[in-house]
Amino acid sequence: MAQVELLGEVTKFVEGSPQMMIGGRRTGAASGKTFEAVDPSSGKAFAEVPRGEVADVDAAVAAAREAFEDRRWTGLRPGKRAEILFKLGELIKGHGAELAQIEALDSGKPVKIASGEMWAAGDVFRYYSGWPTKIYGETMPSDDSLFVYSLREPAGVCGGIIPWNFPLVMAAHKVAPALAFGNTMVLKPAEQTPLTALRLAELSLEAGVPEGVVNVVTGFGEEAGQALARHHDVDKIAFTGSTEVGRKILHESEGNLKRVSLELGGKSPNIVFSDADLRRAAKGSMLGVFMNSGQVCTAGTRILVESSIHDDFVSSLVDATGTMKLGPALSDETGMGPVVSSEQLQRVTGYIEIGKSEGAELVTGGNRAQELGDGYFVEPTVFTGVNNEMIIAQEEIFGPVAAVMEVADVDEAIAVANDSIYGLAAAVWTTDLSKAHRVARGINAGTVWVNTAGLYDPAVSYGGYKQSGFGRELGKHSMETYTQTKSVWVSLK
Ligand code: NDP
């Protein structure tokens, strides 16, 4: 497959030893330590990144605290903050080609898909640039002797801890609302994909965000991540990642009782009824589970199909899966890239072996794609004959593995869909409007898609039920997690 040629800016950035951003200064780790950024398409290291630890987190939090207390950001005219956030969104889009190549190298996602994501990340800043001018307090009821009002104020210094599956988009989900509502931020990107967050910090300075407002510390979860979550001068943590680490974040945050919002794992049901448009449902279900090599927290990995159409649907699903072109991230022809790391490769192929040993039937895929060399490629894989007690139906695999189950009717579909510790998202495919609404109400999840899957918009709130987390990101609901209200009582006597 023909490789896309790397842009000069990309080569310069990765070869110029990418640096963290603390207090508006590009800097290495205090210890001088680094770790390798590895290209999942080849398994080879291509850059050295600072390995931030406690001292670096302390410095970043101190910078964010100073920037918050002296009001260099939150004290600006709201229209000015709006202008800067809008400009940052435009800069991200303007640098889209460069950022997409960096993201493709770092995460393994196909470059054409990464391009769309860079656009989406820019859109998050554009959307939130509308908010600084629309943050209102209230006038409270009182008698004539009093004037009582509320102020909606920023939470303070926010920590953002993010995963590797959508690196720049996740960074935008944390930084854009935090800044829109007047906070300052320390961001800790995932060790597998630290690079676009570092470029984001540089672009934020170029857009006019004051120094110290956006700080980025790269490093490992047990070092930099833990130090940030434990830090007594951090007021709020916004975390996206696994449910297991989400639990740790809660414990780590308890020292100063900081506020926490958690966007965690999922095992989303994708329900196909016999009255659905079968080809559309098959293609949508296929994309819903294999997009981003299945490394999507809302991926519809439990495909529940009404028994009467099971065989026809599976055959359409396998046909649709065959159109997913597996290949290296930096090829324009690739539809599905490698998984992010050798660890993830072991994890996903391990689950495939579990599926086989549990007695599920493998109808397509099931192997590492050896012909693609040392990269971490896994074939898109479909199991049928799955029941909801199996491990492959209950645990988040976070790779290109679908588990198809038969259901008899709407009631069984809702019951099986809800029989999970997770509740992040669901999709339902039907041409019967009342059935669609009934299922949407019956499912315990933060998002339900009807006759579509995976749609997202910065104006639409996002988050989980049950062990998929709490707190809502995006849309107007993120205001609750990034602000606090103060009541002011004034005596008029
Ligand atoms: P994690 O939940 O471990 O990582 C998410 C972020 O948390 C990373 O920045 C990580 O750092 C950091 N982190 C890890 N441990 C701690 C800690 N003790 N304190 C503070 N921060 C910490 O996800 P993984 O990358 O390990 O992936 C494992 C599994 O998690 C996946 O296979 C998948 O099932 C699930 N997952 C779910 C996601 C979702 O969006 N729901 C996203 C990513 C993963 P670092 O990576 O740098 O060590």
| Residue 404 predicted with pLDDT over 70 | yes
Predicted pLDDT at 1? 66
Q: What Cα–Cα distance (Å) separates residue 207 from each residue in 65, 91, 93, 425?
A: 21, 7, 12, 35
Tokens of 195: 């690079």
* Beta-bridge partners for 140: 148
Distance CA 24, CA 50 (A): 16
How high does pLDDT run on average in the chain? Answer: 97
Catalytic residues: 263, 297
Mean local confidence (pLDDT), 298-321: 98
Q: pLDDT confidence of 85, banded at 50, 70, 90?
A: very high
- Degrees, nearest 5: CA angle 44-218-376: 30
Mean local confidence (pLDDT), 408-429: 98
| Residue 2 predicted with pLDDT over 90 | no
User: Ligand 1: does its nearest atom lie under 6 Å from the Cβ of 56?
Assistant: no
Mean local confidence (pLDDT), 333-347: 97
Ligand 1 centre to CA of 192 (Å) is 10
Of 54, 239, 242, 346, best ligand 1 pocket probe by most atoms within 8 Å of the beta carbon: 242
State the pTM of this model. 0.97
Sequence-distant (≥ 6) Cβ neighbours of residue 399 within 8 angstroms = 293, 294, 295, 339, 344, 347, 348, 351, 378
DSSP state of 265: -
User: Ligand 1: does its nearest atom lie under 6 Å from the Cβ of 470?
Assistant: no
Sheet holding 139-140, edge to edge: 139-140, 146-154, 483-491
Kindly give the number of the ligand 1 atom that is closest to the alpha carbon of 188: 9
Q: pLDDT confidence of 3, banded at 50, 70, 90?
A: confident
Identity of residue 252: E
User: Ligand 1: does its nearest atom lie under 6 Å from the Cβ of 395?
Assistant: no
